[in-house]
Amino acid sequence: MEKNRIACLINYRDRPTELALLLQSLRTQTHQDFDIFILDDFSGTPINNYYFLMYMFQRIQLEGNKVFFRRNEGFNLGVSRARQTIADWAIEEGYELLIRVDDDIILQRDYISRLLDVIDMGYDMAGGITTPFGPSIARDPKYLKGIINRVILDNEGNFIMNGDDCGYTYTRREILPAHHFRSCALYKAKIHEKVKYYPTKLTRHGFREEEIFSFKILMNGFKIGVDTSAVNYHLMTPSGGERFPEQAEMIKFNQQILEEFTKENKEALNKIFTQENMPNELELKK
């Protein structure tokens, strides 16, 4: 394996149509120096039952990208534990760069290339912009530079602002420091020497796992950057439906865990979430 080859990590569960769209977007990436790891986290229908997915795996391998596949049997690991499992697997195989991608997103064709530019600038983790993609989602063309994945807490660790990129379309490229990523991120495997996805107090649902993982990364001295022109599209009507019948309760609980985490670590986080790297005022551009 080449030193700088990327391991693309896909945690999958019951979204065959979305996985096919994701794989196709990976096939068309301008940067092709990556291999694919897929962990099927106890899907109701095993992934190898889908002929069209098996065909795509074959095509991808013929085109020069390895595809590694495992299925977790017996029970659902949940998002955080599954993410750590697949990251450990890729690290054991010798990969030093990892890109985690959700199983219900589509990458623009220069997505990986643009995130590599962020890493080359000295960041340890690079994220892009995650745009909702669905029949009822209106896309806002405004450019809100000041809030892109940035956080402000009060002295007690409560959120004053939890900036997000969701729903915005960016018309120019900037690489900015960030406090967390959304959905997908390219990062150095050495981060896992200090920071893990699991164990965690979070439920098996993925809500807020990106932020807690990001905050731990920052608290351990690593840097996160975001490229405002690196876009992926989040499919808002997944064919697999909701994965947990108790989803609403899980989301509420995970939000409480996030708020407890910021309060418990308020001093360390407030040293990071200072105003000095924020714009003097929120910059609004059309």
Query: Sorting pLDDT into bands at 50, 70 and 90, what band is 65?
Result: very high
Range from 134-138, 153-157, 227-231, 275-279 carrying the lowest mean pLDDT: 275-279
Query: Sorting pLDDT into bands at 50, 70 and 90, what band is 148?
Result: confident
Rounded Cα distance, 180 and 238, in Å:
24
Q: Exposed, middle or buried: residue 144 (CB in 10 Å: 0-12, 13-18, 19+)?
A: middle
Query: Sorting pLDDT into bands at 50, 70 and 90, what band is 131?
Result: confident
Q: Do 248 and 148 contact (CB within 8 A), yes or no?
A: no
Q: Over 90: is that where the pLDDT of 139 sits?
A: no
User: Considering Cα of 41, then 45, then 51, then 53, what sign does the dihedral take?
Assistant: negative
Rounded Cα distance, 212 and 200, in Å:
9
CA-based end-to-end distance of the chain: 45
Q: Do 124 and 186 contact (CB within 8 A), yes or no?
A: no
pTM equals 0.91
Q: Are strands 34-41 and 67-72 parallel, antiparallel or unpaired?
A: parallel
Which pair of structure tokens corresponds to residue 174? Answer: 């900037």
Q: Over 50: is that where the pLDDT of 279 sits?
A: no
Whole-number pLDDT of residue 239: 66
Query: Sorting pLDDT into bands at 50, 70 and 90, what band is 247?
Result: confident
Whole-number pLDDT of residue 235: 87
Name the CA radius of gyration of the chain, rounded: 18
Whole-number pLDDT of residue 1: 53
Higher local confidence (pLDDT), 224 or 283: 224
Q: Over 90: is that where the pLDDT of 282 sits?
A: no
Q: Over 60: is that where the pLDDT of 146 sits?
A: no
Rounded Cα distance, 210 and 208, in Å:
5
Q: Over 60: is that where the pLDDT of 190 sits?
A: yes
Whole-number pLDDT of residue 18: 94
Place of tokens 């020069």: 64
1-32: pLDDT as tens digits: 556 799 999 999 999 999 999 999 999 999 99
Q: Do 148 and 219 contact (CB within 8 A), yes or no?
A: no
- Percent above pLDDT 90 for the chain: 70
